[in-house]
Structure 1
Amino acid sequence: MSQFINNPANLGPQHSPPLEGCPQDGLVSNQESKNYYVINDVIVHHQPKLNLPCNIKLKDRAKSLRYAENLTEVLFWMQITKRRFHKIDFDRQRIIGNYIVDFYIKKLGLIIEIDGSSHDDKEFYDQAREAYFISLGLKIYRISVDDVMKNMDFALIGLENYIIDEYT
């Protein structure tokens, strides 16, 4: 995997792992079939990002990360799980290509990363990772650990504003 990460030529989707073995679609009820969300009285249209590459060898790692109970991720998850955040469905510890992202909104193609000390001294890795996601047509929104721990309302309002700005 380090060859993949360290080689900028490998950032395109053509160098992604195969699709098989990873979830692509969720269940869609009649209520969910509309193609928009309403956030603060603003209609936000969406098109699901399906058929993303997935390295199924990371499945156990993603599962262990979900159960690791990283405090900031758990606190954020408690605010957004079960469609509490504008009825939007989030995935936690989603595998995309050869990476695992903190949170993912499939219908928007939006990755939410909570940035803390684990990202220190990993600038090249984070840049390569972000370039790969962008090459797949995905967007990335970053929230600091401090915002989650000290001002959750600010973190959620920032996410609302980002979604409105980027998807309307």
Structure 2
Amino acid sequence: MKKGELLIKGVRIKTMQKIFNKTEYKERRQTLGSDMTEPEQRLWSILKNKQMGVKFRRQHGIGHYIVDFYSSEIKLVIEVDGESHGTEEAQAYDQIRENDMVNLGLYTLRFSNQEVMQNLQGVFDCLQRYINDPQN
């Protein structure tokens, strides 16, 4: 795929604007990257250095969103949700965000802080199943 192209559901689309890691969000991405929550740090410890067989980036910009973790190889977004995601307003925003990701051909997996902190092995197993069979 050439620079300036996006592959969505097997179709190459020429893009006129940059979608990933826009420069206007660079400072925010850097701040989020240096101020990772404990659950994000724990999850990053099993994602970094291709430990799961694919490369993940942390605090990756997609459009005007900054996602916790992203693998371009398998078009997977991983979000670690804290308590603030439990409100009705936050859930509505998350749904809009997820729809935007789907429209870009990306799949999102969400885990709560509690899941990551209390069941990291279960999170690992879920990710491994998705990586091994993204169609399922």
- Same fold, TM-score > 0.5, yes or no: yes
The correspondence of residues 41-80 of structure 1 with structure 2, limited to 5 A, is 52-80=19-47
Deviations 1:67-103 (A, max 9, x none): 00311101111111111223x1100000000100000
1:118 to partner: Cα distance:
2.9
Q: 1:123 aligns with which of 86, 91, 94?
A: 91
Code of the aligned partner of 2:94: D
- Match of 2:58, SS state, is strand
1:164 to partner: Cα distance:
2.8
Structure 2 distance, partners of 1:133, 1:69, is 22
1:152 to partner: Cα distance:
0.8
Say if 1:18 and 1:55, in contact at 8 Å, map to a contact too. Answer: no
Q: 1:110 aligns with which of 76, 81, 97?
A: 76
1:56 to partner: Cα distance:
2.2
In structure 1, the gaps of 5 or more residues are 1-15, 20-51
C-alpha RMSD of the superposition? 1.9
Structure 2 distance, partners of 1:18, 1:118, is 31
Code of the aligned partner of 1:163: I
- Match of 1:166, SS state, is coil
Larger radius of gyration, structure 1 or 2? 1
Aligned length: 120
Identity over aligned residues, as a percent? Answer: 33
Q: Does 1:166 align with 2:134?
A: yes
Code of the aligned partner of 1:18: Q
Say if 1:65 and 1:93, in contact at 8 Å, map to a contact too. Answer: yes
Which has the higher mean CA deviation after the structures are superposed, 62-71 or 119-128?
A: 119-128
Structure 1 distance, partners of 2:57, 2:135, is 19
Match of 2:108 in 1: 140
Q: Which runs of 4+ in 1 moved over 4 A?
A: none
- Match of 2:133, SS state, is helix
Match of 1:39 in 2: none
